[in-house]
Amino acid sequence: MTARRITKLAAGALAAALCAGLAGCEGRLPAVTAADGDQAAAAPDLTAAQERKLRGQILDVIKQADDAKDASGLAARLTGPSLAVRTSQIAVAQKTGQMDNKATIPDKIAQTVIPTDSGWPRTVFTITTTTDDQQSNRLLVLTQDSARENYKLWGLARLFQGAQLPNFAVPSIGSPMGTPKDAGLVATPEQAVERYADVLAKGDQSEFAADFADDDLRRTLAEQSAKVQQAMEANAGTQEQTFQVAPGQLKVMRSADGSDLVVAEIDSVWTRAAGEGRESLPASDAETALFGGGQATSTMKVTYVNIIALVVPPKDSGLKITAVGAERQPVKVEAV
């Protein structure tokens, strides 16, 4: 077997492992609680029945796009990182002939978290059941930018195995939306996402590594990087992954226990350079499909959209920031 083939197989196997690592069994779902004080005084404008109806409309648009393998109509009901991810998943399906099963979104839910905030933009967090093949629950983030616009799916994260989410009030009571600069936490949501991106890039060498609990995404990325590096070094090649928080792409919901559930987009670029005289090839079926009939060179650059869900605990709680779910999808593959 050639060194080039070994490099491709190692990267491909690890990319597949990453998909499996993000599709674990059901974790611990948030409990619903009664509320008091200011939170109880502000009744939500959206009911659970309305959430079910609008979510059904969103899922209908997604199903139509999936069945037709045509992403042109998605923008009517998807936005932000979810639009980029689903568009890529459909582009891959056009090449492979079928949607990846990790793209499945159950139509039944375990809980919905409805905001008490009466203005716009407003956000709804909904947690689905597990899929029919026992993939993990999905955390859906639905947004409405103004009273005259449709709710759209902004974000989707597959919950990690054993993930523990905070407690939220029942839909009839509702929960307050948070902001990127919420105080009273171990870090503001904005800071937490920036620091997590640094940890993803640098691993244990990050100055913020000790602020975060271990999680499936970090663990899988570290294993992937280490093993691909072995193959690269055998061929005098190199690899680098950079992570950058997408400006303004962050949603926050405040929980009954004082923590924030934060969902954000972190974009990353994985650059792989093969040794002299060798070609750098796609590292997964999705990358292969997106690369299409491109002409390989010694260097390949792959852009990923990462949707990350973090629980940011209260200050002085003694708890670490914890990633509880993620979605990671290549959206662009190019030879450079």
For position 233, what pLDDT does the model report?
79
Task: State the burial class of residue 112 (Cβ atoms within 10 Å of its Cβ: 0-12, 13-18, 19+).
Answer: buried
Residue 2: predicted pLDDT: 44
Give the domain extent around 313.
3-335
Q: What is the pLDDT of residue 26?
A: 45
Please count the structural domains in the chain.
Answer: 1
pLDDT, one tens digit for every residue, the chain (336 residues) = 444 443 444 444 444 445 545 544 445 555 555 444 444 446 678 999 999 999 999 999 999 999 999 999 999 999 999 999 999 999 999 999 999 999 999 999 999 999 998 889 999 999 999 999 999 999 999 999 998 999 999 999 999 998 999 999 999 899 999 999 999 999 999 999 999 999 999 999 999 999 999 999 999 888 888 877 887 777 788 999 999 999 999 999 999 999 999 999 999 999 999 877 888 888 889 999 999 989 999 999 999 999 999 999 999 999 999 999 999 999 999 999
Positive or negative CA dihedral for 51, 54, 58, 63? Answer: positive
**What's the burial of 105, exposed, middle or buried (CB within 10 Å: 0-12/13-18/19+)?**
middle
- The secondary structure of the chain in percent helix, strand, coil, rounded to multiples of 5, reads 35, 30, 35
Is residue 176 within 8 Å of residue 39, measured between CB atoms? yes
pTM flag (> 0.75): yes
- DSSP letter (8 states) at residue 205: G
What pLDDT is attached to residue 109? 97
User: Hey, how many other C-beta atoms are within 10 angstroms of the C-beta on 324?
Assistant: 26
